Amino acid sequence: MFSQNLTIIMGLLLSLSLILLLGRLREGQPILGGLVDANPEEAEALYALYENYREAEKPELACVALRHAVDAQLNTQKKRHWKVEFNALPCDDSLTSANTERIQNHVFAYPDGPPDGHAGAPHYEKYFRDLLKQKAGENIGLPIPKLTKRVAQKLLKRIENVKLYAHVYTFALNFRYGFTIFDLLNFAYEEGLQGVNCHIVYLKGKTDQELKYVISIAKKLELEMSIELSTTEEEDVNEAARIAKVMGIKNIRVYVRYPGHLDEIIEKAIEDLKLIAEVAEENDLQFVLEPHEVLKSNEFLNIIKEVNSPRVNLLFDFGNMINANEEPLPALQDMSPYIQQVHLKGVRRVQNEEKTGYSQVGVRQGKGDLPQMKMIFDNLLLGDSKSQVIIYALEQEVGYESPPFRFNGEGPSPSIPERERSKTLFNSDYSIPENLRMEIRNARNQVQYVRNVLAILKTFAEMRLEDGVFGISPRKGALACKYIEGINRQHPVVV
């Protein structure tokens, strides 16, 4: 008898519930605060929004988004599953009109993505950051920016306009056996590069007519040229400026190669570079100073600040800080305000027997110890309205070796020995012709490697621009916006 009465009571309660539900539907009221004319796509968009808020550890906003998703879902089975999920959340204090407005404001107010502290990092953001941190060590140097639409657009524009140059040092062995500047130009043309970096030793001794012929070939191949000089001495600088004027070249690289105590070297470098600044002004030239294995990044920074000329800036070499006992990314960060050119290469660090410093051994780019992805990314983003780095020289030097020059525990002004000229060694396991062929193959591999890195960065930027604010597609984002806008207008969420 008791069970029969219980069944009757439950039936009456169910009938009453259905009557109330039908009444709410006729009046256009939401069951849980949603809109009765919602469609399945809006429901899925809201659920995607909920998932991204949950992953971003924003429980209040996740509750509101899931509540709207439940209300908008017309599929009974999905609605039941989502309702169970909703009931498992601590949502009592979250369902306020203020939180609904916060969601709407996020979607409408941040076309470049939500700021730090807000929900919505796209699902690939962590992978992107992890990729940039490879081989970076504890100190990543310049902070990794959030991959907003603004950053993505900037990155795409920089990649589109990047200027890759072939470098003479990449063919150091071949130049000893008949390789010429015209071969270098031909390589750059065949590989689709934008220019070449030519050391002055391959231009000195040529007549003005011969120099003009070289640059005429470069122009026919639509290639730019830059001059490299391994000193800051006045006579050599003036000769480089004369050649540049004859050829119509605007960019010259120099580096300090004095021996002696550190404070004396720095004083002499400042003196030389102030004269170089005058030469640059007189001849409408731009000079970059390369930190060539001896001085540290902060020392170069102080030199550039002391010279104080917009025509004298810095070249960042991917490996030269190793010999100066520095880490790559902090060195890049120190130099970043003044970097105008870059030497890209692969380097393996080799610690000396005393464990007080490191030598540099050239390897194929990507095979060594350098955080290549982060270094390329950081240089690409330098500059606000336009790219700060104007030349990316591909300086692959497999077989290059240079000793350590700076050491742990050295005093404030250590004695620096005279630095010999750079050398690239033959691989004794192969014949000379085989070494020459391998060098050219390594050069082509470097071009492909750098382009692959740029392609990866470009892919992330394009994904970000195609993505919505919260890691969902723009279409889903628009549907979620439409639903939330409608619910705020017709049925404000209140507790």
Asked if 43 and 72 count as a contact pair (C-beta separation under 8 A), the reply is yes
The string of DSSP codes covering 436-470 is HHHHHHHHHHHHHHHHHHHHHHHHHHHHHHHS-TT
Q: What is the pLDDT of residue 293?
A: 84
Average pLDDT value for the chain: 83
H-type alpha helices, 250-399? 262-283, 297-307, 328-335, 372-381
**DSSP-based three-state secondary structure for 72:** helix
Q: What is the dihedral of CA 110, 113, 117, 122, to 10 degrees?
A: 150
CA dist 403 and 426 (Å) reads: 17
Distance of CA 12 to the CA centre of its chain: 66
pLDDT in tens, 444-461: 999 999 999 999 999 888
Nearest to 288 by CA among 388, 377, 400, 380: 388
Q: Which CATH architecture has domain 135-465?
A: Alpha-Beta Barrel (3.20)
Please report the sign of the dihedral spanned by the C-alpha atoms of residue 241, residue 245, residue 247, residue 251: positive
The amino acid present at 332, given as its one-letter code, is: L
Q: Are 331 and 321 in contact (CB under 8 A)?
A: yes
What pLDDT is recorded for position 21? 34
pTM listed for this prediction: 0.74
**pLDDT < 70: residue spans in the chain:** 1-39, 55-56, 92-124, 467-495
Q: What is the DSSP letter of 424?
A: B
Domain ranges of the chain: 30-122+471-490, 135-465
Are 251 and 227 within 8 A, CB to CB?
A: yes
Residue 245 gets the label, from left (phi > 0), alpha (psi -120 to 50) or beta, of: alpha
